[in-house]
Chain A
Amino acid sequence: MNKTIRTRTWILLFAVLLMASLAMTAWIMRRKAPGTTACIYSDGVLIRTVDLNSVTESFEFSVISERGENRIRVEPGRICVVDADCRDQICVKKGWLSESATPIVCLPHRLVIRLEAGSADVDAVSR
């Protein structure tokens, strides 16, 4: 009788641990969901990160380096360069970044905005 109870306790403990592990796994997976955090690099140095999913109100800020200025706008779930004093305006034309196929790059100012972790199903994009 005693032994049966002990076995049941073990089984129960195991079940609880299993459930806890599954819950933990789900939590970790959710935390690492791709395309949620935007990383802003200036000349290869990470200068700021923005968690796009936690943004409720839009805001703007500027990245200024000796090469020039990029005005960046953040809205819930997405980010873009709205204005820049660079020669080609490619970063502005690129528009919103919300899924992480390719980063926004401003070559003249060496500015890169990329979404963390990248898209889940591709490793790189040929363009």
Chain B
Amino acid sequence: MKRKNAAIRYLPVILLLIFLLTGCTASGPAQSLPAERTTFAMDTLMELKAYCGDDVLDRCVERIAELEKIFSVTDPESEIYSLNDTGTSVLGNDASILLKEALSLCERTGGALDISIYPVVRAWGFTTGEYRIPAKEELAELRKRVDYSKVEMNGSSVSIPDGMMIDLGSVAKGYCSDCLAEMLKEAGVKSALLNLGGNIYALGTKPDGTKWNIGIQDPNGSGYLGVLKASDLAVITSGGYERYFEENGKVYWHIMDPATGEPASSGLISVSVIGSRGVVCDGLSTALFVMGLDRAAQMWRDSEDFEAVFVTDTGSIYITEGLKDDFHTAGAYASEEIQVITHE
């Protein structure tokens, strides 16, 4: 009898303790705040967030600065500048790995990605912000200088024809995210989110074990059109909305079709490529944007290293089959029907 009374008497206290001790686990020490860094590099804003010590992220920021110094097209001290300037060069480790990777992507996409397009992009004013529409003759002349297959690579020695200029900007941020992800994994980090100017790498999972939620920018507005659940994946989007100018009511964007020397007009206004290697996703997002939906879908069927989300100029959303369970539309697009591209 006495025992039972005691139990009843202490029951509220026990309940209260349970309540107080379990109610706040979300902010408990097991899930402390992430380390965060913001840095301006490669002509964009980079935001790093990782559940680890500050020193690890400091090393990441140093690595970003180091890579920028190697790949910059405008810095007279960069390896790429020197190659463009003299036409021949012996590249360091990072530059030769990335150039080799980039050339294989150019080849794989049949030239839809071409790392020698730089003179054309420059003629349109996208490198300075002083936009203009080059004359047909000027573009024809410039296009003679564009042909990635004329880059000769022998180990780390590279030579390019007279007048050619290489720009690794279409793959550098993807490569950078791969390098950072590797550094973080080696340091034992299980949870990190790298946002290199909208090029995302989701490392591991969120601290609570669920996948990261990555929004896909709405090409027609300021929000996002859908959300992708990602873990150990790069999510890289190319869209005409990123950099463009208007003249006489026509929009000219920065993604050039190497075949015409003019802004790509394939019927796509946004392409997101999702895969485990940032460098591949980065290069392919540009290439698939140039290729258009049909060729891009075929490319996906012939490949095994990526998935993709496409938005057409008529507002339709297409996803590849592998994303079926991890992608859903959001906001103004929530009721939009998603077309699934299959292997058929």
Task: Collect the chain A residues with CB atoms within 8 Å of residue B44's CB.
Answer: 107
B16 touches A122 (CB 8 A): no
Known contacts A14-B12, A107-B45; is-contact A124 B193 (Cβ 8 Å): yes
A121 touches B45 (CB 8 A): no
B214 touches A124 (CB 8 A): yes
Is the CB of A101 closer than 8 A to any CB of chain B? yes
B40 touches A107 (CB 8 A): yes
Nearest CB of chain B from residue A86's CB, rounded to whole Å: 8
B16 touches A14 (CB 8 A): yes
B38 touches A7 (CB 8 A): no
B216 touches A88 (CB 8 A): no
A17 touches B16 (CB 8 A): yes
A84 to B242, CA, bound (A): 19
Known contacts A105-B45, A126-B236, A127-B198; is-contact A44 B38 (Cβ 8 Å): yes
Is the CB of B199 closer than 8 A to any CB of chain A? yes
A110 touches B40 (CB 8 A): yes
Is the CB of A95 closer than 8 A to any CB of chain B? yes
Q: Count residues of chain B with CB under 8 A from any CB of chain A.
A: 47
Q: Count residues of chain A with CB under 8 A from any CB of chain B.
A: 37
Known contacts A101-B224, A102-B198, A122-B224; is-contact A87 B9 (Cβ 8 Å): no
A30 to B243, CA, bound (A): 37
Which residue of the partner chain, among B5, B11, B13, B216, contacts A126 with CB atoms under 8 Å? Answer: B216
A96 to B221, CA, bound (A): 11
A103 to B193, CA, bound (A): 16
A123 to B272, CA, bound (A): 17
Task: Collect the chain A residues with CB atoms within 8 Å of residue B47's CB.
Answer: 124
Nearest CB of chain B from residue A91's CB, rounded to whole Å: 11
Known contacts A3-B5, A41-B38; is-contact A126 B12 (Cβ 8 Å): no
A6 to B129, CA, bound (A): 77
Is the CB of B134 closer than 8 A to any CB of chain A? no
Most buried by A among B128, B202, B223, B242: B223
A107 to B224, CA, bound (A): 22
A interface footprint on B230-266 (CB within 8 Å = 1, 0 otherwise): 0000011101001100000000000000000000000
In the complex, which residues 104-127 of chain A have their Cβ closer than 8 Å to any Cβ of chain B? 105, 107, 110, 112, 119, 121-127
Known contacts A18-B19, A101-B215, A110-B40; is-contact A126 B9 (Cβ 8 Å): no
Task: Collect the chain A residues with CB atoms within 8 Å of residue B239's CB.
Answer: 127
In the complex, which residues 78-104 of chain A have their Cβ closer than 8 Å to any Cβ of chain B? 87-90, 94-97, 99, 101-103
A interface footprint on B1-42 (CB within 8 Å = 1, 0 otherwise): 000010011011101100100010000000000000011100
Measured CB to CB, the residues of A under 8 A from B are 3, 6-7, 10-11, 13-14, 17-18, 21, 41, 43-44, 87-90, 94-97, 99, 101-103, 105, 107, 110, 112, 119, 121-127
Report the 7 A-B pairs with minimum CB-CB distance, sorted nearest first.
Answer: A127-B217, A127-B198, A122-B215, A125-B215, A10-B12, A88-B129, A87-B129
A-B contact sample (19 more), CB < 8 A, given A21-B19, A41-B38, A126-B217: A7-B8, A10-B11, A14-B12, A17-B16, A17-B19, A88-B129, A95-B222, A99-B222, A101-B223, A102-B198, A107-B44, A107-B45, A123-B206, A124-B215, A125-B214, A125-B216, A126-B199, A126-B214, A126-B236
Cross-chain pairs A/B with CB under 8 angstroms, 20 sampled: A3-B5, A7-B9, A14-B16, A44-B39, A87-B128, A90-B243, A101-B215, A101-B218, A107-B45, A122-B214, A123-B193, A123-B202, A124-B195, A125-B198, A125-B214, A125-B215, A125-B217, A125-B224, A126-B228, A126-B235
